Amino acid sequence: MKIQLLFNLCFIALTFSACGQKLTKSEALKVIQANVLEEPCYCKINTNTRSIWKSYKKDLTAYKDLEEKGIITTSSYKDRLSKLDRNGHTVVQMFPLNTAIYQYGFEEKGTGLGGAKAKVLYSTPKITEILGVSNSDNSREAIVLVKIVHELSPFASLIDNISYPSNCHRKNIEEKEITLIKYDTGWKIKN
């Protein structure tokens, strides 16, 4: 009888201690990082630039940086038959290397206004820090405030305000609240 009573008391104590555990910052970070909450952002870029464009010098600087990193190669030619300029102008084209294709999702998208286009990775979100945890009274739900850093890809330097991707974030660092629920198997993100 005493053994049964002792067993029941231990079981009740373990049950209440498990239910009463509050979510810690380190545990919240593990749970949140194990789930993909934010999708990477992609944008369209021109794969060439022309000496008559306002962005020509900025584009050349970006191309040079991408070339030094081993992401693209470039070639240039003089366009003498241009309808845009009677004297002709210089055209610089970029060509992706394997790094651009596999690491940054470089995908040619045909031609449009301004010439050839490509879709590339603009930024990747990373949850870097838990800023705070607010546990509910019953300790079965918690609201977690996280810091998200959007790491820009090398192609981001080719984007200006006019061609900025509309589906992307506007800040490099932002805060977001995420709700977690405690199940018998552990903490899970609330859908």
**What's the confidence (pLDDT) of residue 3?**
64
- Residue 167 corresponds to which amino acid? N
Q: Parse the chain into domains and list their residue ranges.
A: 21-189
pLDDT (0 to 100) of residue 79: 77
- Please provide residue 152's backbone torsions phi and psi, each rounded to the nearest 5 degrees: -80, 145
Q: Are β-strands 141-152 and 173-183 bridged in parallel, bridged antiparallel, or unpaired? A: antiparallel
Token pair for 174: 């932002």
pLDDT tens, the chain, 191 aa long: 556 545 555 555 444 444 457 888 888 888 888 886 778 889 888 899 888 888 889 999 999 999 999 999 999 888 776 665 566 788 899 999 999 999 999 999 888 777 788 999 999 988 888 899 888 887 788 899 999 898 989 998 888 755 666 667 777 888 889 888 998 888 888 87
Task: Measure the CA–CA gap between 107 and 64, rounded to whole angstroms.
Answer: 20
| pLDDT at 172 (0 to 100) | 81
179 close to 189: Cβ distance less than 8 angstroms: yes
* DSSP letter assigned to residue 30: H
Residue-level pLDDT at 68: 94
Q: Tell me the whole-structure pTM to 2 decimals.
A: 0.72
Half-sphere exposure of 186 (CA within 13 A, CB side): 7
Task: Please tell me the predicted confidence (pLDDT) of residue 17.
Answer: 47
Query: What is the per-residue pLDDT for 16?
Result: 47
What tokens does 109 get? 């998208």
Best CA proximity match to 72, nearest among 37, 42, 108: 108
* 136 exposure class (CB count in 10 Å sphere: 0-12, 13-18, 19+): middle
Distance separating the N- and C-terminal Cα atoms of the chain: 46
Cα(37)–Cα(127) distance, integer angstroms: 9
Q: What is residue 162's predicted lDDT score, i.e. its pLDDT?
A: 57
Distance of CA 109 to the CA centre of its chain: 21
